[in-house]
Chain A
Amino acid sequence: MGAPELLQFALAGLKNGSIYALVALGFTIVYASTGVINFAQGEFVMLGGMLSVWAHSTLGLPLPLAALIGILGTAVIGVVFELLAIRPRKDGDPLALIIITVGGSLLLSNLARHVFGPSERSLPAFTAGPSLRFLGATLERQSLWIFGLTALAVVVLTVFYSRTRLGRAMRACSINRTAARLVGVDPKRLVTISFALAAALGGLAGVVTTPLTQTAFNVGSSFGIKGFAAAILGGLGNPIAAVIGGLVLGLLESMSIAFLSSTYKDAISLVVLLLVLFIRPQGLLGRGGREKV
């Protein structure tokens, strides 16, 4: 295999990996505030895509506005979900919350089927024009949007976490649940905000990927599993690790296509997920930490 082909696979891997990274960030953020894996995270990707398609083709709004509606609309749905389904469970029992998000996933995807219909939908690329040539490899213009917006999201998130009081409170809260109250922020509000952020990131992933991959009511769970595998691979609880986990997973997938067969592409992330869970549950970048009984 020559260098251009390899580059081609690497670019495809990074493109998918960026999407996984966005989803993984969502997992990480909710996990930090609740200690729970949000099984509905993948549905946010589906909703982002579906809402923007609806805004663009049904309402006829211009693409940038439709994209914004996709992201903000998903964030609103995330908040509503948290307020109606997560917050009422006051004891915060992780098993209960996990099961609630499983139910939420089922509910959201099927409601989407009723509202938007069962068929596959697509968006036009953000920038029209032929693919770019790059060192012998080709790159869709949409991929640049994916790279750029993922990077932007990471930067915004980093600034939010390190420069704002709320962000710092959220970080403190992920280390110690009572810490949030010490900095004067209501932990319940942090949970709501984390769902808003996670949903917005999922929505963003859905909006940017739809021009390339299309979307449908039932794509959520597969995005969810990939994003979750990425989050676990990086090590839950750390945004940078989630991004790296996403990119590594994307590269692993495309390299498996390059060197093995496309049959196993989807299985790769699952096998990675199981291996990491069993061998190194704290993830590649997670701190060792002793297992306290």
Chain B
Amino acid sequence: MSLLQVREVTRSFGGLIAVDRVSFDVHDGQIKAIIGPNGAGKSTLFNLLTCFDRPDSGSVLFEGRELFGERPDRVVRMGVARSFQNTQLFEEMTAHENVILGTHARSGSSFTPAALRLPSARKRDDLASQEADRLLRLVGLESWRGSLAADMPHGLRRLLEIARALATSPRLVLLDEPAAGLNTQETTALGEVLYRIRDHGATLVIVEHDMGLVMEVSDEIVVLDRGCKIAEGPPRLIQKDPAVIRAYLGEEDADEL
């Protein structure tokens, strides 16, 4: 059974249909990319999958359980983590603390142990701290441990947000344009991090503009155009798909293909 089943998902704003009956599956251990020209509905779909927005109709099953109607934070605790196109870090906290907050998803913020300073609270904090250090190493940010998020360069902030997402112990990680604003070198580093994440057992869905990265890392690609899915398949086939080429032709990104 697939990890994530997206079925007939539709969302419209006023009269405009942003996502139109989109269906696809994400299998365990895959890296799946969602691409499409500007305004294709990628970000809308992304927010629907993570329950930051509600669809008009359709369903999304994660491990066989319906996600639609759940609160975003509950979806995270169910095992679906996300990053943001515009990074949403805790600017006045250190990189280490940012990642620790991700661990709150699993171990909660319960008041009583904290208020009474029970040994269990202390033990949990130690574990969270170690886990955060491990994840900072995983994304290559160990030397930034004590820096404030606000002081970190753009490319690294994206990696920090990915580390925070991983700290929630997800089975599925959705990344919203992780390469946006990164230079070539940073993008290559990001690609490696994505592989490492998959090797650690998480499944990835990335919405991405950078074709090079998408073609390189993804196992399968879903192509959206004007809200509809127009193609789905492995990168080699997608590159040759006439519908995809037509969709991108009127676009400035056409030459990137």
| A interface, CB within 8 angstroms of B | 290, 292-293
Residues of B50-98 at the interface with A, using a CB-CB cut-off of 8 Å, are: 52-54, 71-72
Per-residue 0/1 for B150-191: is the Cβ within 8 Å of any A Cβ (1 yes, 0 no)? 000000000000000000000000000000000000000000
A293–B73 Cα gap in the complex (Å)? 11
Q: How far is the CB of A244 from chain B (nearest CB, A)?
A: 27
Contacts of A293 in B (CB 8 A): 52-53, 71-72
Chain A: which residue is nearest B51 at the CB level? A293
Q: Which residues of A contact B52 (CB under 8 A)?
A: 293
A290 partner, pick from B54, B71, B72, beta carbons under 8 A: B54
> Could you show 6 A-B contacts with beta carbons less than 8 Å apart?
A290-B54, A292-B53, A293-B52, A293-B53, A293-B71, A293-B72
A293 to B52, CA, bound (A): 6
Interface size (B, Cβ < 8 Å)?
5
- What is the CA–CA distance of A240 and B54 in the complex, to the nearest angstrom? 31
Query: Which residues of A are found within 8 Å of B53, using beta-carbon distances?
Result: 292-293
Main secondary structure of the interface of B (DSSP, over half): loop
Residues of A with C-beta under 8 A to B54: 290
CB distance from A168 to the nearest CB of B (A): 21
In the bound complex, how far is the Cα of B52 from the Cα of A292, in angstroms? 8
> What separation, in Å, do the CA atoms of A292 and B53 have in the docked complex?
7
A292 to B11, CA, bound (A): 13
CB distance from B38 to the nearest CB of A (A): 23
The closest CB in chain A to the CB of B73 belongs to A293
CA distance A3 to B209 in the complex (A): 73
Q: Report B14 CB to chain A, min CB distance, Å.
A: 13
A292 to B48, CA, bound (A): 12
The complex places the Cα of A292 from the Cα of B71 at a distance, in Å, of: 11
- What's the Cα separation between A102 and B131 when bound, in Å? 46
Determine the distance from Cα of A293 to Cα of B71 in the docked complex, in whole angstroms.
Answer: 9
Complex: chain A residue closest to B52, CB-CB? A293
Cβ distance A289 to chain B, nearest Cβ, rounded Å: 12
Complex CA–CA separation, A293 to B53 (angstroms): 7
Nearest CB on B from A292, distance (A) = 7
Cα distance A292–B47 in the bound complex, in angstroms: 12
The 6 closest A-B pairs by CB, nearest first: A293-B52, A293-B72, A290-B54, A292-B53, A293-B71, A293-B53
